[in-house]
Amino acid sequence: MKHLSLLVALCAICWQIAAQETYPRNGVYDEREGYYAITNATITTAPGKTESNATLVIRDGKVVSVGPASVPKGAVVIDAKGKHIYPAFVEPYSNYGMPKPKAEGERSRSQPQMLSNKSGAYSWNEALKTEFDAASEFTHNKDAAKALRMLGFGTVVAHRWDGLSRGTSVAVSTGDDRENMLIMKQQASHNLSFKKGTSTQNYPSSLMGAISLFRQTYMNAAWYTKTSPEETNLSLEAWNDAQNLPQVFEVRDRLELLRAATLGKEFSKNYIMRGTGDEYMRINEIKATNAKLIVPVYYPDAYDVTDPFDALQADLGDMRHWALAPSNAKRLNEGGITFAFTSSGKKDTKAFWKNIRKAVEAGLDESAALAALTTVPASYYGLDNQVGTLAAGKVASFIITDKSIFEEGVTIHHTWVQGKGYVNSAWKEDVFVEGNYTLRYGSKSSKLEVHGGDKPALKIALDSSKLDVKHSLKGDLITMSFTPDGEDGLVRLSGRVKGNNMNGRGQLANGRWIKWTANITREPLEKKDKKKKDEKVADAAEDDPLDEINVTYPMLAYGWTDKPQQGTYFIKNVTVWTNEADGIIENANVLVKNGKISSVGKSLKAPSGAKTIDGTGKHLTSGIIDEHSHIAISRGVNEGTQYSSAEVRIGDVVNSEDVNIYRQLAGGVTMAQLLHGSANPIGGQSALIKFRYGYQPEEMKYENAPGFIKFALGENVKQSNWGDNYRSRFPQTRMGVEQVFVDHFQRALEYEKSKGSKDFRQDLEMDALLEIVRKQRFITCHSYVQSEIVMLMRVAEMFDFRINTFTHILEGYKVADKMQEHGSAGSTFSDWWAYKYEVIDAIPYNAALMNEQGVLVGINSDDAEMGRRLNQEAGKMVRFGGMSEEDAWKTVTLNPAKILRVDDRVGSIKAGKDADLVLWSDHPLSIYAQSEMTMIDGRIFFDKAKDKQLRDQIREERALLVQMMLDAKKGGAKTRKPKMKHKHHYHCDHVEDELRD
């Protein structure tokens, strides 16, 4: 047994533990044992399991033993007294050693790129890069490896961050060695995301497009294995091979996480989600998905709110997130969600440890934090038999620190990787044992305090005071000097330190030589500093402003801490607009129970337990239904990159966290059809939602709603107003538009015929089109001029179905008789016109004329602002063309319910229908009417009094957060300038590519 100094031990870096068998070599073999015993350490072998004064024995890159075992013969001893040892961390989400993503080619400025630029037998879509194999491409990178080791990572799972499907990842260790020795596991996972990366291909440009592409790819892949297709598709083959691996999905926020989980469920995949740190905002919903997470620990900087005008731009939701982000991990842990930490997400990883400690300070259990760095990520990739804990037979990857890893100011001295030690920052050997000593020199004695650590200090306790003792230490040689109480000159001592004892010779001021000893006593050392800190913490705990910051649903202004629940309500003495044969009933009562309208009548009595709402002088109507809306949609309203995108579904991208939902509620709107845009003739599938503000996307969708799809005609689909660069995508004329429809329906019929054949491949686009022809899905068609309206009806008739709805339909009045005959409804604006050439003949009398011809007519918004005062837009119908008030009111309630084929459940006030009700302060068609209460399914989602409360809360909370941010800035925190929140009020014709990084 040889006691080796650290310096020597760590020369190990330049030699190799295990030989690379297949490699030739130059020189004399120098294989070593790699046999080490690291003694006297506090060893955390696994989260929650710590042994003090333990020895870790490793050999040949593997752990031999860990525990109180004695040092075996032949092992090099490293004394780690006072040090802590942890399993090295596992980075679950990295691009370490990966080639830089590079586009396959360029996209022409004037032509859409319809296919992948990649040559070879790969996917049609450039964003599907499943064939990428990280193990084949991995190269060791000394600097990056060092940076990872400095953070304590011994193992990294890396993949190339590029594309929707990014291929497979590789698990490697962070040592400096040949790649052959570093790879621990090939194909550790299949990685996916909602980012297109370097793909220059147009499709998909929206989130819903990406989701559809995944869906279709899962189906194609299944088809590829089941049948014997003529095509060879290496991407699909790679996709199929990758399906048995862990599936890791990168998302951009909590809602995308839920969306990915929903997608996964459809194909029996339970993704490991790489989130962004906002998961605490939807903890229960995420828990319900069973998803395991990888979360970063980078928190948003505080806003610089010194300037009150700048502060105006800071959004409450963002400010709350700033305050609560450090508690994400704690909340995940308490919510029973499995998560691992990743250091990825920022180039500069300096804040990584600081932020992990912040998470712990915010209440995260230390062993959960450690698990998130070790066992959890290891288990994600099946690496837990190799790394993540320290036990016999495991890979000898561990770190040595000077104190608990969660303590402020901790230093990770060593990172050992596969049995090789790498020094991040050498420790000074702590020769001193801390404690109180009795110092005897000559005939005198005195108390001596010895403080250890990086900067050891000696203090001598004299009668009157404590004196710092000047001292120097070289190895175990010590010299001290001090002036005893009441004396002039210095006493100088020189000797050796031997554990708890010191002894040697010295000279008094008078020149006399003496002997001296110092022996430790049992009296514990007093530590003042720490106490102070504890007191501080206690102080802070008393009135922590953080306690007043809550998660709300959604995490925005006007979000709820408790979501509205159903109640029994008795609305009395109110003017009821029934929309039924009873017409308008004055002084009536309405009972709401279990989310439904229970009864309506004049003589109704309030049952016990019902909450009474006095409707005296007010009007009660069913909720407004907006047939055409684009609010509450995430990342793209158009997938206009192809002329048909029938496969995409708005329902995949409902955004429950849009404040416009609340604004619509304040305007008495309870339901809306969220439509795909109008950039292509065959758009995407619509979603019918109820404005259940605070609930998650899936809960907003109206149960059992019939399927609809958006079609479009005219200038948008022919790209007339897009400038000269858009002149080549088919179609460019109305003539071409007709061909798109006939062609697609024809293909759908042929597709139907091919069902059941051996090589049948399910195609989501064709499925949707076939549903239309088979009258299981209904068309809402964006339309303006009469020719195209008639054309589409004739195309439908050719295939023996009907166009359910023409939306916009600004020249509907010119062909109202034909529409009536065909049986299609018209959902129009009240008075928009003149904004483009195809609307020069639009008239506000349109609805009235169509109505008179027996066309079912609705008034819609297509606009987040107008949507919240559709009652006025209906009022205009009385003015333009003289509709009766009841008919006018129906254009925004019962008629859209009929158009959307849900009038058996909503659209009027009738026993048994959904309790979607609005209490108006005035005649509902009047500009002076305001909603005082808006209810959906018997839950009150808007209430004037509650609204006022919320406003006050918003003001108070903003003020509090501003103060907290000012304090943070004063305390030296990094800040950023607040900026106006990116408002995204989609319209039909917004076509931005939303899938760039």
Partner 1 sequence: MTTRIFISILSCLFVVSGLFAQQTPAAKQTKRILYINAKIHVGDGTVIENGALGFSEGKITMIGDATRIKIDRTAFDEIVDARGKHMYPGFIATDTQLGLVEIDAVRATRDDRETGFLNPSIRSIIAYSTDSRVTPTVRSMGVLMAQISPVGGRISGQSSIVHFDAWHYEDALIKADDGIYLNFPNYFTRSGWWAEPGPVKVNKDYADNIKLLRDYLAEGKAYSELDKPKQTNLKFEAMRGLYDKSKRLYIRTDYARCILEAIDIAQDFDINICIVGGADSWRVADDLKAANVPVIINSTQRLPDRDDEDTDLCFKLPKLLYDAGVTFSFGHDGAWEQRNLVFQAGQAISYGLPYEQAVKSMTLNTAQTLGISDQAGSLAKGKDATFFVSEGDVFDPRTSELSDAYIQGRKIDLSNKQKALYEKYKAKYDAEK
Site for partner 1 in 615-674 (CB under 8 A): 659-660, 662-663, 666
203 is a contact residue toward partner 1 (CB under 8 A): no
Binding mask 410-429 for partner 1 (x = CB under 8 A): --------------------
Interface with partner 1 includes 710 (CB under 8 A)? no
**Residue number, 171 or 929, with CB nearest to partner 1:** 929
Segment lying near partner 1 (by CB under 8 A), choices 28-36, 94-102, 769-777, 831-839 = 831-839
Helix 764-773 and helix 207-226: axis angle, to 10°?
A: 100
834 touches partner 1 by CB under 8 A: yes
Taking the C-alpha atoms of residue 447 and residue 445, their distance in angstroms, rounded to an integer, is 7
Tokens coding 323: 């305050």
Residues from 904 through 923 that contact partner 1 (CB under 8 A): 921-923
CB of residue 436 to partner 1, shortest distance in Å: 59
Distance in angstroms (rounded) separating the CA atoms of residues 31 and 54: 28
Segment contacting partner 1 (CB under 8 A): 94-102, 275-283, 440-448, 833-841? 833-841
- What three-state secondary structure class fits 307? coil
Q: Which stretch binds partner 1 (CB under 8 A): 133-141, 456-464, 594-602, 717-725?
A: 717-725
Q: Which parts of 481-500 interact with partner 1 (CB under 8 A)?
A: none
> Near partner 1 by CB under 8 A, which window of 109-117, 164-172, 351-359, 983-991?
983-991
Q: Least distance (Å) from partner 1 to the CB of residue 886?
A: 13
| 989 contributes a contact to partner 1 by CB under 8 A | yes
> Distance (Å, rounded) from C-alpha 313 to C-alpha 977?
9
Separation of alpha carbons 700 and 549, rounded Å: 26
Report the residue from 210, 370, 864, 899 that binds partner 1 according to the rule CB under 8 A.
864
Q: Does 185 bind partner 1 (CB under 8 A)?
A: no
Helices (H), 313-373: 316-324, 328-334, 351-361, 366-373
Please, are residues 597 and 910 in contact by the beta-carbon 8 Å criterion? yes
Residue 981 Cβ, how far from partner 1 at the closest point, in Å?
6
CB 925 within 8 A of CB 875: yes
Residue among 881, 896, 907, 938 that touches partner 1 (CB under 8 A): 881
- Report if residue 109 touches partner 1, rule: CB under 8 A: no
Q: Does 430 bind partner 1 (CB under 8 A)?
A: no
Q: Which residue type does 925 have?
A: L
Shorter beta-carbon distance to partner 1: residue 801 or 829: 829
Residues in CB range of 712: below 8 A, 6 or more apart: 677, 678, 679, 680, 681, 683, 781, 782, 783, 988
> Using the rule CB under 8 A, is 760 a contact of partner 1?
no
Is the separation of the CB atoms in 89 and 149 below 8 Å? Answer: no
- The helix-helix angle for 234-242 and 207-226 (nearest 10°) equals 90
* Interaction between residue 836 and partner 1 (CB under 8 A): yes
Residue that the structure tokens 């050498």 belong to: 426
Q: Which stretch binds partner 1 (CB under 8 A): 24-32, 210-218, 750-758, 880-888?
A: 880-888
The reply to whether 729 sits near partner 1 by the rule CB under 8 A is no
Residue closer to partner 1 by CB (options 293, 877) is 877
Q: Which of 703, 750, 817, 997 binds partner 1 (CB under 8 A)?
A: 817
> Which C-beta is closer to partner 1: that of 373 or that of 883?
883
Query: Is residue 712 involved in binding partner 1 (CB under 8 A)?
Result: no
Told to check if 886 binds partner 1 by CB under 8 A, we report no
CB of 963 to partner 1, least distance (A): 16
Query: Measured from the CB atom, is 303 or 516 closer to partner 1?
Result: 303
Burial of 441 (0-12, 13-18, 19+ CB in 10 A): buried
Distance CA 760, CA 751 (A): 9
Residue 885 within binding range of partner 1, rule CB under 8 A: yes
Total of residues contacting partner 1 (CB under 8 A): 77
Site string for partner 1, 952-981 (x = CB under 8 A): --x---x------------------x-xxx
Asked if 879 touches partner 1 (CB under 8 A), the answer is: yes
Please give the Cα distance from 333 to 48 (Å, whole number).
15
Query: Cβ closer to partner 1: 57 or 991?
Result: 991
DSSP symbols for 760-806: ----HHHHHHHHHHTTSEEEEEEE-SHHHHHHHHHHHHHTT----EE
* Contact in structure between 606 and 570 (CB atoms under 8 Å): yes
**Does 584 help bind partner 1 (rule: CB under 8 A)?**
no
Strand bridging mode 805-808 / 825-828: parallel
- C-alpha distances (whole Å) from 333 to each of 353, 554, 800 are 18, 21, 57
Q: Binding of partner 1 at residue 995 (CB under 8 A)?
A: no
Using CB under 8 A, pick the residue from 790, 843, 960, 966 that binds partner 1. 843
**Between 593 and 876, whose beta carbon lies closer to partner 1?**
876
Site string for partner 1, 141-180 (x = CB under 8 A): ----------------------------------------
- Residue 625 · residue 897 · CB < 8 Å: yes
Residue placing its CB nearer to partner 1 in the complex, 389 or 861: 861
Closest approach, Cβ 227 to partner 1, in A, equals 40
The enclosing H or E element of 207 equals helix 207-226
Which residue, 262 or 926, has its beta carbon nearer to partner 1? Answer: 926
The whole-angstrom separation of Cα 438 and Cα 444 is: 10
Stretch that binds partner 1, among 331-339, 440-448, 467-475, 860-868 (CB under 8 A): 860-868
- Which of the ranges 222-230, 242-250, 859-867, 911-919 carries the binding residues for partner 1, by CB under 8 A? 859-867
Q: Which of residues 58-87 bind partner 1 (CB under 8 A)?
A: none
Which range touches partner 1 (CB under 8 A), out of 391-399, 613-621, 858-866, 894-902?
A: 858-866
Query: Which 796-815 positions form the footprint of partner 1 (CB under 8 A)?
Result: 813-814
d(Cα 718, Cα 802) in Å, to the nearest integer?
Answer: 24
Cα separation of 843 and 832, whole Å? Answer: 8
Q: How far is the CB of 315 from partner 1 (least distance, A)?
A: 6
Footprint of partner 1 on 300-339 (CB under 8 A): 309, 312-313, 315-317
User: What dihedral do alpha carbons 807, 811, 812, 817 form, nearest 10°?
Assistant: -160
Measured in Å, how far apart are the chain's first and last C-alpha atoms? 57
Distances (CA, A) of 274 to 7, 143, 253, 281, 380: 40, 25, 9, 16, 12
Q: How far is CA 94 from CA 127, 343, 346, 361, 374, in A?
A: 19, 8, 11, 26, 15
The kind and range of the H/E element at 250 are: strand 247-250
Residues 517-576 that bind partner 1 (CB under 8 A): 556-558
